[in-house]
């Protein structure tokens, strides 16, 4: 699952540099082991479905995008 890291949490990365103390900085970090087994299976099914049908549907039909909770 994806986690949103904001400002100070993400400021420790070796490839990040900031002159304004990371104000407004948002980084999405993927953690394959987070979430319940059911959620991971649901995401895996959505990925497979997207891969099989990506040329048939518009981007708004992307289930992974619609499943994200911010």
> pTM for the full model?
0.47
Q: Nearest 5°: phi and psi at 45?
A: -65, -40
| Confidence band for 69, pLDDT divided at 50, 70 and 90 | low
Q: Where are the beta strands (DSSP E) in 1-70?
A: 2-6, 26-30
- 28 contacts 54 by C-beta, under 8 angstroms: no
CB atoms within 10 A of CB 22: 19
In tens, the pLDDT along 6-46 reads: 766 545 667 766 677 667 777 788 787 888 899 889 988 98
* 3-class state of residue 37 by DSSP: helix
């Amino acid at each position: 699952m994806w986690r949103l890291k904001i400002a100070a949490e993400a400021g420790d990365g070796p490839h990040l540099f900031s002159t304004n103390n990371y104000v407004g900085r948002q980084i999405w970090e993927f953690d394959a082991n987070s979430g319940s087994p059911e959620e991971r299976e649901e995401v895996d099914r959505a990925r497979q479905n997207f891969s099989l049908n990506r040329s048939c549907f518009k981007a708004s039909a992307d289930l992974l995008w619609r499943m994200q909770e911010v």
